[in-house]
Amino acid sequence: MFPRLIACLLAAFVSAAAARAEAPDPSRWQAVLAAARGETVYFHAWGGEPRINDYIAWVGREVAARFGVELVHVKVAETGAVVAKVLTEKAAGRTGNGSVDLVWINGENFAAMKENGLLLSEPWADRLPSYRFVDVAGKPTVARDFGVPVDGLEAPWGMARLVFFYDPGEVPAPPRSAEALAAWIEANPGRFTYPQPPDFMGTTFLKQLLVDLAADPAALARPVGSVDFEAVTAPLWAYLDRITPLLWRQGRAYPRDYGGMRQLLADGETAISFAFNPADASSAIANGELPDTVRSFVFDGGTIGNTHFVAIPFDAGASAGAMVVANFLMSPEAQARKEEAAVWGDPTVLAVDRLPPEDRARFAAVERGPATLPPDALGPVLPEPHPSWVAPLEAEWARRYGVGQ
């Protein structure tokens, strides 16, 4: 009895130790593929959009058939909670077999994980086979996430751009700057709102206004501690003080998130909305969620753009499988499918002109939808402020507008 028990415990210990073994080396890709076969990858990704969930389900079927990797989409409501989960595991002394193998991430969450040593310690993403087509020169945000060097610790997945939506029947001349938007809100009280920060879309809208209104936008690229926060953000609060009483519900309530805001546009409560995906309105039209008359516009001075990524936590139990999934997500085939408006409409991170002809043809055939602006009409990309701006911006917003008067 007892010897057997001890043997059992030993076996458990040895297997736990094996799980702690070094992360696979992506430059020896065949070895990674071999190690990945049979692994189950728990992919923690925001689950609020069925179109994206469907796309991830497709990825799951493909990696199962091609590489023998089982992909489980853990649908999360808030990526910060995943970071907190990994943090809890680290604080609890776990070093392997963590509950998260792959996480959809960018910006301040990436910065927090990188800073706290919650990611795989060795660079891996820029060594994946698919990475050679990534458009590092044309899309600098694939290497600097909100200005923080990526250092190969997360693999670029897609490009986001802030784009506004409106119904030309209701808004004949859409406002193409922050100032014009304020004037439009004054002329049409109650017909505009934004998700309540700290929802990431709400925070993104604040950042867009800040980049537009700040006297010296260059200050936003620096860590917030090194500049005069009050002075730089003063124009933003003056602007919000002006529009808040004229927002939907007089600014006494806000939609919880981007989906809630889109529902308001669909119900005709608001007349202008926005998304972080240029094809979002087209996708929503294709699914009957928005009327087919909805169109897009951007600010003439440009809108905020960034890259979203997938990262592997330090204690992932299936890091080889996670790399195989990340590599597939970056492949021309998966990227082209993702760009279809009916699938998701998320722009690619690849340099399409550098792809082999058959892959270029995939992108040429992509259907971008009636409400999607062509890439050359999207205007300039404005960089995200340094991630350290997010927390003080959200705190100051909550203090001024989040607690009533």
Partner 1 sequence: MLRLAPAAIVLLLLGPVAAGLGGVLLPAFGYLPVLGGDSLSVEPFRRLFELPGLAASVLLSLGTGLAATAIAVSAVLLFVGGSFGTRTFRLMQRFVSPLLSVPHAAAAFALAVLIAPAGLPARLLSPWLTGWTHPPDILVVHDRAGIAMVLGLVAKEIPFLLLMTLAALPQTMARERTELMASLGYGRVLGFAHGVVPVLYRQLRLPVFAVLAYATSNVDVALVLGPTTPAPLAVRIVELHADPDLAMRFVLAAGAVLQLGVTGAALLLWLGIERFAALVLAALAPTGWRASRDAAARLAGSALVALPAGAILLGTAGLALWSVAGPWRFPDALPARVTLGVWMRVMPGLSAALGNALAIGVCASALALLLVVAALENEVRNGHPPGFRGLAALYLPLLVPQVAFLFGFDFLLARAGWDGRFAALLMAHLVFVLPYVYLSLSGPWRSLDPRYARVLASLGRGPGTAFRRLRLPMLARPILTAFAVGFAVSVGLYLPTLVVGAGRWPTVTTEAVALAAGGDRRIVGVTALVQALLPFLGFFVALAVPAWLHRNRRGLRVAR
Residues 369-398 that bind partner 1 (CB under 8 A): 391, 395, 398
For residues 152 to 191, the per-residue mask of contacts with partner 1, x marking binding by CB under 8 A and - elsewhere, is -------------------------------------xx-
24, 35, 41, 109: which one binds partner 1 (CB under 8 A): 109
* Residue with token string 């998701």: 344
Extract the tokens encoding 392.
């003080």
Extract the tokens encoding 300.
């003439």
Tell me if 97 contacts partner 1 by CB under 8 A.
yes
Q: With respect to partner 1, which residue has the nearer C-beta, 191 or 207? A: 191
Question: CB of 364: closest distance to partner 1 in angstroms?
Answer: 28
74, 143, 221, 234: which one binds partner 1 (CB under 8 A): 74
* Distance in angstroms (rounded) separating the CA atoms of residues 340 and 338: 6
Question: CB of 304: closest distance to partner 1 in angstroms?
Answer: 21
15, 121, 177, 250: which one binds partner 1 (CB under 8 A): 250
The string of DSSP letters for 241-254 reads HHHGGGSGGGGS--
For residues 251 to 270, the per-residue mask of contacts with partner 1, x marking binding by CB under 8 A and - elsewhere, is -xxxxxxxxxxxx--xxxx-
Tell me if 338 contacts partner 1 by CB under 8 A.
no
Q: With respect to partner 1, which residue has the nearer C-beta, 317 or 379? A: 317
Task: Using CA atoms of 142, 145, 147, 152 in order, give the dihedral in degrees to the nearest 10.
Answer: -70
Tell me the C-alpha to C-alpha distance, in Å, between residue 201 and each of 12, 32, 57, 85, 177: 45, 36, 24, 22, 18
CB 341 within 8 A of CB 369: yes
Q: With respect to partner 1, which residue has the nearer C-beta, 137 or 398? A: 398
Smallest CA-to-CA distance from 36 within 8, 80, 69, 70 is with 69
Tell me if 356 contacts partner 1 by CB under 8 A.
no
Tell me if 330 contacts partner 1 by CB under 8 A.
no
23, 25, 34, 47: which one binds partner 1 (CB under 8 A): 47
* Distance in angstroms (rounded) separating the CA atoms of residues 2 and 162: 64
Question: CB of 317: closest distance to partner 1 in angstroms?
Answer: 10
Q: With respect to partner 1, which residue has the nearer C-beta, 177 or 293? A: 293
Residues in 13-42 that interact with partner 1 by CB under 8 A: 42
What are residue 41's DSSP bridge partners?
A: 71
CB 82 within 8 A of CB 103: yes
5, 18, 91, 215: which one binds partner 1 (CB under 8 A): 91
With vertex at residue 168, the alpha carbon angle to CA 167 and CA 173, rounded to the nearest 5 degrees, is 120
Please state the three-class secondary structure of 344-389 as a single string. Answer: CCCCCCECHHHCCHHHHHHHHCCCCCCCCCCHHHCCCEECCCCHHH
Smallest CA-to-CA distance from 314 within 76, 18, 20, 12 is with 20
Question: CB of 152: closest distance to partner 1 in angstroms?
Answer: 21
Q: Among 143-151, 230-238, 247-255, 352-360, which window interacts with partner 1 (CB under 8 A)?
A: 247-255
Q: With respect to partner 1, which residue has the nearer C-beta, 224 or 352? A: 224
Residues in 191-230 that interact with partner 1 by CB under 8 A: 196, 198
